[in-house]
């Protein structure tokens, strides 16, 4: 049968393409500098269960939490039905699993209810995003593709769910007419309410419609699969590894730069043995100027970002009109990674200097200097992204490699060096407070 052949070919092509794109992303993430998340397996696993599987950080905004649960659970479970659709596609049968009897009926009924919930969820999301006048969705961060991306998927979901329900509704009419191939199977608590739309149609048109909806749904899934690598929707996959690898440390702790310790510590502790350094290796700069200087978790963060803007809407700098937006920090990092990947692909796998860097061309110093390191963005992020760590790495580059701190901060640094305090006070006055009564 031609349809089986077409189906097999399309499946193969879409799986191959998806695999290729994911492989490309995997490679570019793993090209990052080393990073050790520190905790043991159980700690990481439970973070993943709580935050990704259990949607633990979504609850702070109840409406979107509930709608997101609809879409998320629906997405995961309806894909079980897609397994049957795949089997049907490969062997050219209709509702292969109907031999499961009443359990099958239960499943199909259950999936229909989920489909309805997904439908409601995405409609609410679309309305909220476009008519809700919610700042984080109106922000300039989303101009261009990101805004289109968000809406395209919501609209596509509406079509996909409609196709699923149309397929079931037409199937019911065909089943009731005992049309060959349409044996009685499934229960349809949702689509039974729309069968009246189709009951006047001829069986031939119904078969056409039913097959059309089937193909639309399954092709929609293949298309979605291959759209993912280019979209913020990649989070449906990466949320899992990203939350798993969240480093187990208090939010307030910034990482220690061992390269600096190797230089500083021997002055105070003669017994300290600096790490061995390969004399042939090119010395790495302090901090980050480009994506090459970030660690793989920071790069994974960038690809995981859902562009939800919860970080920016809680950022004291962003909400008071500063240029800094932690969401944009993540989006710019991903943009740069994509540009680097394209550059590599065009140059036989080697990066050819394009005269650009993450710092300055994608993220400005003004953005970086607006951060208060308050961790609100880290706290808010539903998929455990840490925009602050990238901000700090880039500040480190500006300060330690370029001496480009704002003048006032240079003043603070020299006070620290000279007086051991950020202000111009003499260290000998440190105890004056004891004898000052007011």
Partner 1 sequence: MSTSNLKVETMAEFAARGEMPEILFWVGCSGSFDDRAKKITRAIVKILNHVGIKFAVLGTEESCTGDHAKRAGNEFLFQMQAMQNITVLNGYQIKKIVTGCPHCFNTIKHEYPELGGNYEVIHHTELVRQLIAEGKLSVQGGSFQGKKITYHDPCYLGRANNIYEAPREIIAELDADLSEMKRSRAKGLCCGAGGAQMFKEAEKGNKEVNIERAEEALASQPNVIAVACPFCNVMMTDGVKHFNKEQEVKVLDVAELVVQANNL
Does 57 participate in binding ligand SF4 (rule CB under 6 A)? no
Residue list 126-145, contact with ligand SF4 (CB under 6 A): none
For residue 350, the partner it binds in ligand SF4, partner 1, none, with Cβ less than 5 to 8 A by kind, is none
Q: Contact between 393 and ligand SF4 (CB under 6 A)?
A: no
From candidates 307, 334, 337, 340, binder to ligand SF4 by CB under 6 A: 307
Q: Does 286 bind partner 1 (CB under 8 A)?
A: yes
Does the footprint of ligand SF4 cover residue 306 (CB under 6 A)? yes
Instruction: Map the chain to HEC letters.
Output: CHHHHHHHHHHHHHHHHHHHHHHHHHHHHHCCECCCCCCCHHHHHHHHHHHHHCCCCHHHCHHHHHHHHHHHHHHHHHHHHHHHHHHHHHHCCCCHHHHHCHHHHHHHHHHHHHHHHHHHHHHHHHHHHHHCCCHHHHCHHHCCHHHHHHHHHHHHHHHHHHHHHHHHHHHHHHHHCCCCCCCCCCCCCCHHHHHHHCCCCCHHHHHHHHHHHHHHHHHHHHHHHHHHHHCHHHHHHHHHHHHHCCCCCCCCCCCCCHHHHHHHHHHHCCCCCCCCCCCCCCCCCCCCCCHHHCEHHHHHHHHHCCCCCHHHHHCHHHHCCCCCCHHHHHHHHHHHHHHHHHHHHHCCCCCCCCCCCHHHHHECHHHHHCCCCCCHHHHHCCCCCCHHHHHHHHHHHHHHHCCCCCHHHHHHHHHHHHHCCCCCCCHHHCCHHHHCCC
- Is residue 253 involved in binding partner 1 (CB under 8 A)? yes
Binding of residue 373 to partner 1 (CB under 8 A):
yes
Residue 316 is a binding residue for ligand SF4 (CB under 6 A): yes
Residue 138 or 399 with smaller CB distance to partner 1: 399
Choose from ligand SF4, partner 1, none: what does 281 bind? Cβ within 5-8 Å by kind: none
Q: Which is nearer to partner 1, 2 or 273 (CB)?
A: 273
Q: Which one, 166 or 312, has the nearer CB to ligand SF4? A: 312
Binding positions for ligand SF4, 346-375, rule CB under 6 A: 371-375
Is 285 an interacting residue with respect to partner 1 (CB under 8 A)? no
Q: Given the complex with ligand SF4, which of 152 and 219 has the nearer CB atom? A: 152
* Near partner 1 by CB under 8 A: residue from 1, 42, 140, 268: 268
> Among 7-15, 266-274, 316-324, 338-346, which window interacts with ligand SF4 (CB under 6 A)?
316-324
Footprint of ligand SF4 (CB under 6 A): 305-311, 315-317, 324, 326-327, 330, 371-377, 380-381, 383, 385, 387-388, 391
């Amino acid at each position: 049968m031609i349809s089986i052949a077409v189906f097999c070919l399309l499946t193969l092509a879409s799986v191959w393409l998806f695999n290729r794109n994911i492989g490309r992303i995997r490679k570019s993430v793993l090209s990052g500098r080393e990073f050790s998340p520190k905790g043991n397996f159980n700690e990481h696993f439970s973070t993943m269960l709580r935050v990704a599987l259990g949607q633990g950080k979504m609850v702070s905004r109840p409406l979107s939490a509930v709608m997101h649960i609809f879409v998320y659970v629906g997405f995961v479970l309806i894909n079980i039905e897609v397994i049957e659709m795949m089997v049907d596609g490969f062997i050219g049968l209709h509702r292969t699993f109907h031999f499961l009897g009443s359990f099958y009926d239960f499943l199909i009924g259950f999936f229909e209810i989920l489909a309805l919930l997904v439908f409601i969820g995405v409609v609410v999301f679309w309305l909220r995003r476009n008519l809700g006048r919610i700042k984080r969705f109106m922000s300039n961060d989303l101009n261009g593709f990101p805004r289109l991306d968000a809406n395209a998927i919501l609209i596509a979901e509406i079509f996909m769910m409609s196709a699923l329900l149309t397929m079931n509704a037409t199937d019911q009419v065909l089943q009731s007419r005992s049309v060959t191939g349409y044996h009685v199977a499934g229960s349809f608590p949702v689509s039974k309410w729309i069968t009246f739309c189709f009951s006047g149609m001829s069986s031939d048109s119904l078969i056409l419609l039913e097959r059309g909806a089937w193909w639309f749904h399954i092709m929609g899934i293949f298309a979605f699969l291959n759209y993912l690598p280019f979209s913020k929707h990649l989070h449906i996959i990466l949320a899992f590894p990203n939350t798993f690898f969240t480093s187990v440390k208090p939010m307030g702790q910034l990482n220690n730069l061992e390269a600096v310790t190797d230089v500083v510590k021997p002055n105070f502790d003669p017994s300290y043995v600096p790490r061995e350094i390969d004399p042939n290796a090119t010395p790495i700069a302090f901090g980050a100027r480009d994506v090459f200087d970030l660690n793989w978790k920071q790069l994974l963060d960038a690809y995981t970002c859902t562009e939800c803007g919860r970080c920016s809407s809680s950022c004291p700098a962003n909400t008071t009109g500063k240029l800094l937006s932690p969401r944009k920090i993540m989006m710019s990092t991903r943009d740069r990674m994509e540009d680097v990947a394209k550059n590599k692909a065009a140059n036989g796998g080697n990066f050819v200097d394009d005269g650009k860097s993450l710092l300055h061309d994608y993220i400005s110093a003004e953005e970086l200097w607006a951060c208060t390191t308050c961790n609100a963005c880290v706290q808010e992020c539903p998929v455990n992204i840490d925009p602050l760590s990238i901000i700090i790495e880039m500040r480190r580059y500006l300060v330690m490699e370029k001496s480009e701190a704002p003048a006032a901060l240079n003043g603070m640094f020299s006070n620290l060096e000279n007086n051991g305090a950020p202000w111009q006070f003499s260290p000998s006055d440190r105890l004056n407070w004891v004898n000052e009564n007011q």
